[in-house]
A and B are shown apart, each in its own frame.
Chain A
Amino acid sequence: MKKYVWFVMILFIVQVVPKMHVDSGIHFQSAQAWADDNYNFTELTPAIKRALERRRARHDTLRELKANGSVGEGKSGHLVNLSGSAKIQAVVDDENYDREIIYQAIVDQNNLGRGSIDTVRSAYAQTYRKKADPGDKIQMPNGDWINK
């Protein structure tokens, strides 16, 4: 009698338990992001590569525009046209388009959650302020524009 019970129990554990699939019906909306040393890309997609290369190619032009005060670094991680020129606005739009590709990729590839994009923009804005050359126009977190 006892050996049958043991046999059934062992058979259950060996054969059935590994096949059991429990779906609790609870799904996480956003993943936990752990504090890490950095938030690098996990994969350089063609879109990210193109955005980085376009930004690199545009760098010298923007350096000149920053130096003469036509553009400045905004508080939200975007370049801002301070000149009113439509031609400069086109350059600014292109730059901000590429920046957004990078911000979104950082959020997506590091599972930071949809609501984190503003945090990423702010962190990048702080880096742009830090890396700005003396005399460049930068916008502080309170909205004030200053010459660095």
Chain B
Amino acid sequence: MRYFLYVNLIALFAVTLVGCTAKVVGDRNRPITIEAHVTIDIRGLQQTASSIEDYVSGDNKVSLDDLVANSKK
């Protein structure tokens, strides 16, 4: 019994040294594709469009930095 434990222990060390990769591979002929549902907030798009058009029209209140998300103002 103790012999098996030692063998297991050695095997475990070997696996530890080499690293372990468990890979599940599907059928290449039938790839699994999940079409994620995309929800777009139209008002958000229009808000961005409005800022861009304000900049394009020469509105000095809008800078390039204002068109970048999380920009430091």
Contacts and interface: CB of A to CB of B under 8 A. Distances in A.
Given A8-B8, A8-B12, A35-B44, A41 B67 contact: yes
B48 A106 contact: yes
Q: Give the contact-size bracket for chain A.
A: 35 or more
Interface in A33-78: 33-44, 49, 52, 55-56, 59
B12 A52 contact: no
A11 interface: yes
A25 to B, nearest CB: 4
A16 B12 contact: yes
10 contacts: A4-B9, A25-B32, A26-B34, A31-B38, A52-B56, A52-B67, A102-B52, A106-B45, A113-B36, A127-B46
Interface of A: 1, 4, 7-8, 11-12, 15-16, 19-44, 49, 52, 55-56, 59, 102, 106, 112-113, 115-116, 119-120, 123-124, 126-128, 130-131
